[in-house]
């Protein structure tokens, strides 16, 4: 984890915008069905960290060893808890105002900016450009994209296309919700047993049931393609 934090810090100081992605099974199943822009974004990301122990095991079956799983939520917490200072300019794109207000209350010593694009923004060129313009104006070096996948990866690519943005964009999904306690991580025992996915399912079966079923059906195709 410390190595990943150091890599993020290093990327934030590099010219231009670098992208950090933390793929899980859901992301990879989607990617296995994509032959266009999304696949190119993943291939060109400066830092790719495996978010899923199930994905780690699947890759091992194909002879591809991922030594360490780095969940995006754990990386985000580590950065906020131990790495960032008042000198760092942070921008969170996505999340409700109330969520960010809670975050600012927890990390009152940090410089946290916020922009929340409207639902479906990724299909509206004007809204995408508005997000780019806000990011440029913010001057943030650490940009947390919390608008879900694949929206966050597509937005990261647009931000990277701007010559006026330097720093690192982290595609972190629901990590901010875990950080403020709106969503709970699984107990340590369930994490150790690789059952965090099951814990999340029983917490939100209506939202995650269909997603997990789709992922399960997509696993054979994913296995053949990785």
Compute the CA torsion angle 5, 53, 150, 85 (nearest 10 deg). Answer: -20
Q: 132 — phi, psi (to 5°)?
A: -65, -45
Query: Is there a contact between 72 and 173 (Cβ–Cβ < 8 Å)?
Result: yes
User: 19 pairs with which residues across the strands?
Assistant: 169
Q: What is the pTM of this model?
A: 0.92
CA distance readout (Å), 29 to 101, 163, 222 = 34, 32, 6
- Per-residue pLDDT for the chain (226 aa), expressed as one digit of tens each? 889 999 999 999 999 999 999 999 999 999 888 778 999 999 999 999 999 888 998 889 888 899 999 999 999 999 999 999 999 999 999 999 999 999 999 999 999 999 999 999 999 999 999 999 999 999 999 999 999 999 999 999 999 999 999 999 999 999 999 999 988 888 888 887 778 888 888 888 888 888 888 888 888 788 777 7
CB atoms within 10 A of CB 138: 19
């Amino acid at each position: 984890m410390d190595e990943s934090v150091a890599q993020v810090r290093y990327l934030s100081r590099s010219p231009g915008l670098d992208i950090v992605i933390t793929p899980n099974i859901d992301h990879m199943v989607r990617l296995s069905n994509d032959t266009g822009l999304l696949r190119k974004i993943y291939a060109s990301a400066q830092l790719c960290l495996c978010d899923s122990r199930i994905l780690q095991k699947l890759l091992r079956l194909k002879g591809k060893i991922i030594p360490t799983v780095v969940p995006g939520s754990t990386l985000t917490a580590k950065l906020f808890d131990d790495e960032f200072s008042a000198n760092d300019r942070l921008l969170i794109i996505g999340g409700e105002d109330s969520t960010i207000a809670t975050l600012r209350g927890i990390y009152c010593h940090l410089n946290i900016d916020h922009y929340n694009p409207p639902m479906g923004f990724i299909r509206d060129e004007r809204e995408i450009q508005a997000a780019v313009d806000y990011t440029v104006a913010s001057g943030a070096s650490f940009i947390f994209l919390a608008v879900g996948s694949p929206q966050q990866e597509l937005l990261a690519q647009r931000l990277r296309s701007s010559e006026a943005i330097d720093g690192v964009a982290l595609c972190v999904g629901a990590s901010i919700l875990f950080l403020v306690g709106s969503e709970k991580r699984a107990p340590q025992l369930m994490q150790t047993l690789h059952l965090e996915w099951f814990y999340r399912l029983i917490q939100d079966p209506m939202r995650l049931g269909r997603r997990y079923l789709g992922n399960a059906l997509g696993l054979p195709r994913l296995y053949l393609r990785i």
